[in-house]
A and B are shown apart, each in its own frame.
Chain A
Amino acid sequence: MSNQGPKTLFDKIWSEHLVGQREDGTNLLYIDRHLVHEVTSPQAFEGLKISNRPVHRPEATIAVADHNVPTINRQNIEDPQSKIQVETLAKNTKEHGIQYFDLMDQRQGIVHIIGPEQGITQPGMTIVCGDSHTSTHGAFGALAFGIGTSEVEHVLATQTIVQNPAKNMRISVNGELPFGVNSKDLILYIIGKIGTAGGTGHVIEYAGSSIMGLSMEGRMTICNMSIEAGARAGLISPDQTTFNYIKGRPYAPGTEHWDQAVEYWSSLPSDNDANYDHEIVIDSSEIDPMVTWGTSPEDVVSVKGTVPNPSSAKTENKKKSIERSLEYMGLKPGTKITDIKLDKIFIGSCTNGRIEDLRKVASIVKDKKIASHVQAMIVPGSGLVKKQAEEEGIDKILKDAGFEWREAGCSMCLGMNPDQLKPGERCASTSNRNFEGRQGRGGRTHLMSPELAAASAITGNISDIRDFT
Chain B
Amino acid sequence: MDKFHSLKGIAAPLPIVNIDTDMIIPKQFLKTIKRTGLGVSLFYEMRYDNDGNLIKDFVLNTSPYDQSKILVAGDNFGCGSSREHAPWSLKDFGIRSVISTSFADIFYNNCFQNGILPIVVSPENLDQLMTAAKNQIEFTIDLPEQVIKAGNHLIKFEIEEFRKERLLQGLDDIGITLGYKDKINAYEEDKKNKKPWLFKNN
Interface residues of A (CB under 8 A from B): 19-20, 22, 24-26, 28, 30, 32, 39-40, 42-43, 46, 51, 53, 56-57, 59-60, 67-68, 79, 81-82, 84-85, 88, 122, 125, 130-132, 146-151, 153-154, 157-160, 162, 164, 196-197, 200-201, 227, 230, 232, 250-251, 253-254, 257-258, 260-261, 264, 296, 317, 320-321, 324, 414-416, 423, 433, 435-438, 441-442
CA distance A51 to B175 in the complex (A): 10
Contact B184 A251, beta carbon cutoff 8 Å: no
Q: Say whether, besides A24-B176, A437-B26, A251 and B202 are in contact (CB < 8 Å).
A: yes
B 149-202 contacts with A by CB, 8 A: 160-162, 165-166, 173-178, 180-181, 183-184, 187-188, 191, 195-198, 200-202
CA distance A254 to B45 in the complex (A): 50
Interface residues of B (CB under 8 A from A): 15-18, 20, 22-23, 26-28, 30-35, 45, 50, 74-76, 79-84, 87, 102, 104-106, 109-110, 113-114, 160-162, 165-166, 173-178, 180-181, 183-184, 187-188, 191, 195-198, 200-202
A-B contact count (CB 8 A): 189
B residues near A324, Cβ cutoff 8 Å: 16
Contact A28 B174, beta carbon cutoff 8 Å: no
Contact B31 A197, beta carbon cutoff 8 Å: no
Nearest-CB distance from B88 to chain A (Å)? 8
Contact A162 B177, beta carbon cutoff 8 Å: yes
Q: What are some 26 contacts across the A-B interface (CB < 8 A)?
A: A24-B165, A24-B166, A30-B187, A42-B32, A43-B34, A51-B174, A56-B184, A57-B188, A60-B201, A68-B31, A130-B84, A147-B106, A149-B35, A150-B114, A154-B174, A158-B177, A200-B102, A200-B104, A201-B105, A227-B80, A253-B200, A260-B197, A317-B17, A433-B80, A441-B50, A442-B50
Nearest-CB distance from A427 to chain B (Å)? 15
Contact A154 B197, beta carbon cutoff 8 Å: no
Q: Say whether, besides A30-B187, A150-B114, A40 and B83 are in contact (CB < 8 Å).
A: yes
Contact partner, A157, options B34, B84, B174, B183, Cβ 8 Å: B174
Q: Say whether, besides A158-B177, A160-B177, A197-B76, A146 and B197 are in contact (CB < 8 Å).
A: no
Q: Say whether, besides A20-B183, A201-B105, A125 and B31 are in contact (CB < 8 Å).
A: no
**Most-contacted residue by chain A among B27, B106, B181, B200 (CB, 10 A):** B27
Nearest-CB distance from B94 to chain A (Å)? 20
Contact A317 B23, beta carbon cutoff 8 Å: no
**Most-contacted residue by chain A among B76, B87, B162, B173 (CB, 10 A):** B173
Contact B200 A30, beta carbon cutoff 8 Å: no
B residues near A57, Cβ cutoff 8 Å: 188
Contact A19 B79, beta carbon cutoff 8 Å: no
A residues near B162, Cβ cutoff 8 Å: 24-26
Chain B: CB-nearest residue to A147: B82
